[in-house]
């Protein structure tokens, strides 16, 4: 028993952890103890009067940072999830957990961090560990046949304190493209936590089959997942660079953005932020479904404020900043408010994970990460207003994330976007590629797919 946990104040505020010292992260993270369970039961019905849906143990106990369960599906998904887990291991944060699933043995063997027992090979009797190539219908079929094994592996790793699931996959291939919507449907059947997808779009140069696969997969995923983040390989590779040689760099970009987003609210050396972005805010931002894109910008702190001990957290982004650093020193100076606003504008107007018309976004979330001195409250509020003026909806959430770093990083989530030329282009290529007849879309989550004659993988 852990009696002090039960007598915590009933009304939770965003800064509960500071105000209730008895509630330490160590204590909360003793899964399975009686006291732990008790806290969960006591708190869920009094959680700020909110719906208790999607409230996990760590939220219920006043510890709001998001716990994500990643499933890396196929080669691209596996590599990216391996990177998320290795970032987590390096930082010692224990925010992420996950498994990887593939029909190709060699892809699974090539990973570095995911424990061997969490690398799940499916379709062995059908493709003998050689993968399904670009046949995403085979990927879907094998996943459907073996979904119980995948669900058991997820269960074994542990889902008791998870806030959301995130399936990561390249949508142009076979295994991840076909398996992702099948698994999303199954997870939603079993768990009440939201199921998100992080999908990688193929570059047109990879060929029409990849675009066709991605269009069909995406059309199916939109109806199964609670929200779908997209990353467009073609928008991110450099001129003249092949997609393949760009993979490592692109994956770094992905893990950097989503790593910051999904760690927001996590108490660090500086405690939790003044304006915490907790998991329920991320979940509410994504509630509308459809497609979501993410913007990102970074700037160094002015030199006299530079921290002596630079944390590992944002150091890896140093290289991206060096060019801009010089240009911005004069502009930003001591004006932290202006600096935050400028960074948020740059994140939203710069290259998004899926380039699109940001003004069609239904909701947004603004997250500013950096040393506490730089996290200007007024700047965040003003930046939120600016985002609100520039998107279709009025819901803009935001907050800060104090970390020990020489850099200030901004992540802007633009959720449920209404128009992305890249998706139209993809659907157009796919339409030309297929000979099947038009079937009406039963989905309602994104109007972008309504008029298209691309058949989903399944309905």
Task: Answer for the pair 252, 85: CB distance below 8 angstroms, yes or no.
Answer: no
What length is written for the chain? 459
Is residue 237 a contact residue for ligand GDP (CB under 6 A)? Answer: no
**DSSP for 64-131?**
----EEEEEEHHHHHHHHHHHHHHHHHHT---EEEEEEESBHHHHHT-SSS-GGGEEE--HHHHTTB-
Q: Which is nearer to ligand GDP, 93 or 234 (CB)?
A: 234
Bridge partners of residue 101, in order along the sequence: 73, 120
Q: Which is nearer to ligand GDP, 169 or 272 (CB)?
A: 169
- Closest separation between CB of residue 110 and ligand GDP, Å? 11
Alpha-carbon dihedral sign for residues 328, 300, 293, 433: positive
Is residue 144 a contact residue for ligand GDP (CB under 6 A)? Answer: no
* Spatial separation of the C-alpha atoms in residues 51 and 429, rounded to whole Å: 43
Q: Which range of residues in 31-39, 166-174, 186-194, 358-366 is near ligand GDP by CB under 6 A?
A: 166-174
- Closest separation between CB of residue 135 and ligand GDP, Å? 9
**Which one of 58, 220, 227, 251 is in contact with ligand GDP (CB under 6 A)?**
251
**Which one of 57, 79, 185, 346 is in contact with ligand GDP (CB under 6 A)?**
79
* Spatial separation of the C-alpha atoms in residues 234 and 74, rounded to whole Å: 19
**Which one of 62, 181, 202, 398 is in contact with ligand GDP (CB under 6 A)?**
202
Q: Which is nearer to ligand GDP, 251 or 299 (CB)?
A: 251
- Closest separation between CB of residue 134 and ligand GDP, Å? 7
What x/- string results for residues 283 through 312 when contact with ligand GDP is judged by CB under 6 A?
------------------------------
Is residue 279 a contact residue for ligand GDP (CB under 6 A)? Answer: no
Task: Answer for the pair 213, 426: CB distance below 8 angstroms, yes or no.
Answer: no
**Which one of 247, 258, 358, 401 is in contact with ligand GDP (CB under 6 A)?**
247
Q: Which is nearer to ligand GDP, 248 or 447 (CB)?
A: 248
Task: Answer for the pair 191, 82: CB distance below 8 angstroms, yes or no.
Answer: no
Task: Answer for the pair 127, 169: CB distance below 8 angstroms, yes or no.
Answer: no
HEC sequence for 224-273:
HCCEEEEEEHHHHCCCCCCHHHHHHHHHHHHHHHHHHHHHCCCCECCECC
What x/- string results for residues 333 through 372 when contact with ligand GDP is judged by CB under 6 A?
----------------------------------------
- Closest separation between CB of residue 220 and ligand GDP, Å? 14
Q: Which of residues 207-236 bind ligand GDP (CB under 6 A)?
A: 210, 233
Give 292's contacts (C-beta < 8 A, 6+ positions apart): 227, 228, 229, 230, 286, 413, 414, 415, 416, 417
Task: Answer for the pair 293, 420: CB distance below 8 angstroms, yes or no.
Answer: yes
Q: Which range of residues in 174-182, 319-327, 347-355, 390-398 is near ligand GDP by CB under 6 A?
A: 174-182
**Which one of 58, 59, 75, 279 is in contact with ligand GDP (CB under 6 A)?**
75
- Show the beta-strand stretches assigned E in 353-415: 363-370, 395-402, 407-415
Q: Quick one: tokens of 377?
A: 């409250």
**Which one of 76, 150, 417, 427 is in contact with ligand GDP (CB under 6 A)?**
76
Q: Which is nearer to ligand GDP, 287 or 422 (CB)?
A: 422
Q: Which range of residues in 68-76, 111-119, 257-265, 393-401 is near ligand GDP by CB under 6 A?
A: 68-76
What backbone phi and psi angles, to 5 degrees, belong to 256? -60, -50
Is residue 74 a contact residue for ligand GDP (CB under 6 A)? Answer: yes
What backbone phi and psi angles, to 5 degrees, belong to 410? -120, 135
Q: Is 291 helix (H, G, I), strand (E, B) or coil?
A: strand
Q: Which range of residues in 16-24, 29-37, 244-252, 347-355 is near ligand GDP by CB under 6 A?
A: 244-252
Q: Quick one: tokens of 262?
A: 């999904």
Is residue 172 a contact residue for ligand GDP (CB under 6 A)? Answer: yes
Number of shown-chain residues binding ligand GDP (CB under 6 A): 21
* Spatial separation of the C-alpha atoms in residues 56 and 278, rounded to whole Å: 12
Binding site for ligand GDP (CB under 6 A): 74-76, 79, 169-170, 172-177, 200, 202, 206, 210, 233, 243, 247, 250-251
């Amino acid at each position: 028993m852990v009696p002090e946990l039960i007598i915590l104040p009933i009304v939770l505020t965003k800064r509960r952890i500071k105000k209730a010292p008895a509630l330490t992260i160590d204590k909360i993270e003793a899964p399975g103890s009686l006291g732990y369970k008790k806290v969960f039961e006591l708190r869920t019905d009094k959680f700020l009067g909110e719906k208790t849906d999607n409230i996990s143990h760590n939220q219920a106990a006043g510890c709001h940072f998001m716990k994500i369960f990643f499933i890396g599906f196929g080669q691209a998904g596996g590599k990216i999830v391996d990177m998320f887990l290795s970032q987590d291991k390096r930082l010692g944060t224990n925010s992420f957990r996950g498994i990887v699933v593939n029909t190709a043995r060699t892809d699974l063997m090539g990973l570095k961090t995911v424990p061997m027992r969490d690398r799940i090979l499916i379709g062995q009797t059908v493709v003998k560990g050689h993968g399904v190539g670009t046949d995403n219908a085979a990927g879907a079929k094998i996943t459907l046949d073996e979904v119980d094994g995948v669900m058991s592996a997820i269960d074994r790793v542990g889902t008791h304190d998870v806030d959301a699931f995130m399936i990561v996959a390249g949508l142009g291939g076979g295994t991840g493209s076909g398996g992702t919507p099948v698994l999303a449907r199954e997870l939603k059947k079993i768990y009440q936590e939201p199921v998100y997808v992080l999908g990688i779009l193929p570059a047109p140069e990879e060929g029409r089959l990849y675009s066709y696969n991605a269009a069909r997969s995406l059309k199916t995923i939109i109806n199964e997942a609670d929200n779908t983040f997209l990353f467009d390989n073609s928008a991110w590779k450099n001129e003249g660079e092949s997609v393949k040689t760009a993979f490592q760099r692109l994956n770094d970009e992905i893990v950097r953005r989503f790593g910051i987003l999904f760690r927001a609210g996590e108490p660090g050396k500086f405690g939790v932020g003044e304006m915490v972005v907790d998991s329920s805010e991320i979940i509410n931002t994504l509630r509308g479904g459809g497609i979501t894109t993410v913007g990102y910008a970074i700037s160094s702190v002015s030199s006299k404020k530079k921290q002596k001990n630079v944390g590992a957290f944002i150091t890896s982004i140093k290289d991206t900043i060096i060019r801009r650093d010089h240009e911005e020193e004069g502009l930003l100076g001591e004006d932290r408010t202006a600096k935050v606003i400028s960074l948020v504008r740059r994140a939203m107007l710069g290259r998004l994970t899926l380039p699109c018309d940001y003004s069609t976004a239904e909701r947004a979330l603004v997250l500013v990460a950096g040393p506490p001195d730089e996290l200007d409250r007024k700047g965040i509020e003003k930046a939120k207003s600016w985002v609100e003026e520039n998107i279709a909806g009025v819901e803009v959430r935001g907050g800060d994330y104090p970390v020990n770093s020489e850099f200030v990083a901004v992540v802007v989530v633009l959720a449920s976007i209404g128009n992305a030329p890249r998706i139209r282009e993809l659907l157009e290529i796919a339409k030309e590629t297929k000979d099947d007849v038009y079937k009406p879309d039963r989905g309602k989550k994104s109007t972008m797919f309504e008029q298209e004659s691309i058949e989903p993988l399944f309905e």
